[in-house]
C-alpha cells in the first residue's frame, strides 16, 4: 500500500483530489482552534457575543489571540486596532493574488470570498504546482465551511469549554499546526519550493525568537518567495 501511494507525485495526487476533499479536515482543525479561542475569550472576560463577533468579523486566529492579550493588558483601543492591522496586513497580499483569479465570478460571491479569505484556505486553493483553481462552488464550500466552523467553534468553546489547561492537555491547540504541516509537505513539489519553505521558516523563526512573532508571517510571505523568483531566474540564465 505504501509503495502505491509513494508512486504518486505530490502535485498529481493533490490535483486529483480536488478542493472538496479538504473541507472536512479544515473544518475539524478550525473547530478545534476556535474552540480554544472561545475558552481564552471567556477567561479574558469578554462577553459571549463579543467573542462571537470577533470570530465572525476579524476571523483571523493570530490577531484574535494577540488582541485578547492586549485587552487583558488594558492597552488603548487605537493601539490594539493598529497592531491587528499590522498582523493582518498580509491579507492585502493574499487578496491581491486571489482577486484576478476570481474576477469572472458573480459580484456577491466574490465579495464574500474576499471577506472569508484565510491563510489556510488560500494555501489549499493555490498550491505551488497548481491543481486547477477551484470552481466558485468548491471555493464557497471550503470558505463557508471554514467560516462557520470558526464562529461555531468559538461559541462552543465559550459555552461548554473547560479551561485553557484542558485545551492544552487535549492538544486541540495543535490541530491547525498539524494540518498546515501536512499541507506544506504535500506542496513541496521541487527543490525550489523546499528552498523557499526553508527560508520562510528560518526567517519566521528568527522573528519569533526576537519577539516579533506577530509580524513574522507577513515578513516571510513578502521576502521568501523572492528566493523562488531568484532561483528560477538563475535556471533560465545560467551564469
Partner 1 sequence: MQTSSIVLTAAGMGLVTAALRFLPFVIKPKVSTRPLWTIWVRYLPVAVLSAVVVPAVLAAQEEIIWGPISLPFLASLPTLLIGLLTRSLIASVTIGVTTIALLRNLF
Q: How far is the CB of 137 from partner 1 (least distance, A)?
A: 19
What count of Cα atoms within 13 Å lies in the side-chain half-sphere of residue 81? 3
Decide: 33 and 61 in contact? Cβ < 8 Å: yes
Decide: 116 and 144 in contact? Cβ < 8 Å: yes
Q: To 5 degrees, how large is the angle CA 79–CA 83–CA 85?
A: 115
Q: Which of residues 174-213 bind partner 1 (CB under 8 A)?
A: 174-175, 177-188, 192-193, 196-205, 207-209, 213
Residue from 18, 81, 137, 234 binding partner 1 (CB under 8 A): 81
Phi, psi of 237 (to 5 degrees): -125, 80
Binding flag, residue 111, partner 1 (CB under 8 A): yes
Using CA atoms of 149, 133, 183, 21 in order, give the dihedral in degrees to the nearest 10. 60
Please report how the helices 61-72 and 48-57 are oriented relative to each other, as an axis angle in degrees rounded to 10: 140
Residue from 18, 69, 106, 115 binding partner 1 (CB under 8 A): 115
Binding flag, residue 169, partner 1 (CB under 8 A): yes
Q: Which is nearer to partner 1, 79 or 160 (CB)?
A: 79
Query: What is the tally of helices (H) and strands (E) in the chain?
Result: 14, 0
Q: Which of residues 18-77 bind partner 1 (CB under 8 A)?
A: 22, 24-26, 28-29, 32, 46-47, 50, 53-54, 56-60, 63, 67, 71-72, 74, 77
Residue from 106, 163, 171, 234 binding partner 1 (CB under 8 A): 171
Q: Which is nearer to partner 1, 159 or 208 (CB)?
A: 208
Residue from 40, 65, 128, 151 binding partner 1 (CB under 8 A): 128
Amino acid at each position: 500500500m505504501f509503495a502505491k501511494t509513494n508512486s504518486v507525485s505530490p502535485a498529481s495526487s493533490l490535483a486529483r483530489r480536488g478542493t472538496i476533499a479538504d473541507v472536512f479536515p479544515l473544518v475539524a482543525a478550525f473547530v478545534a482552534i476556535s474552540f480554544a479561542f472561545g475558552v481564552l475569550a471567556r477567561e479574558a472576560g469578554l462577553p459571549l457575543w463579543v467573542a462571537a463577533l470577533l470570530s465572525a468579523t476579524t476571523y483571523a486566529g493570530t490577531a484574535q489571540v494577540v488582541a485578547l492579550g492586549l485587552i487583558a493588558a488594558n492597552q488603548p483601543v487605537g493601539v490594539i486596532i493598529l497592531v491587528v492591522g499590522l498582523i493582518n496586513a498580509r491579507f492585502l497580499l493574499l487578496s491581491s493574488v486571489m482577486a484576478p483569479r476570481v474576477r469572472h465570478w458573480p459580484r456577491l460571491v466574490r465579495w464574500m470570498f474576499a471577506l472569508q479569505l484565510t491563510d489556510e484556505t488560500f494555501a489549499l486553493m493555490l498550491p505551488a504546482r497548481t491543481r486547477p483553481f477551484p470552481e466558485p462552488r468548491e471555493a464557497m464550500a471550503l470558505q463557508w465551511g471554514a467560516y462557520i466552523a470558526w464562529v461555531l467553534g468559538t461559541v462552543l468553546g465559550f459555552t461548554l469549554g473547560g479551561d485553557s489547561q484542558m485545551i492544552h492537555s487535549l492538544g486541540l491547540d495543535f490541530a491547525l499546526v498539524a494540518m498546515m504541516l501536512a499541507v506544506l509537505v504535500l506542496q513541496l513539489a521541487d527543490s525550489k519550493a523546499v528552498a523557499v519553505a526553508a527560508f520562510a521558516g528560518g526567517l519566521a523563526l528568527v522573528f519569533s525568537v526576537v519577539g516579533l512573532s506577530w509580524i513574522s508571517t507577513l515578513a516571510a510571505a513578502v521576502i521568501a518567495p523572492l528566493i523562488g523568483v531568484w532561483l528560477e531566474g538563475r535556471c533560465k540564465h545560467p551564469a
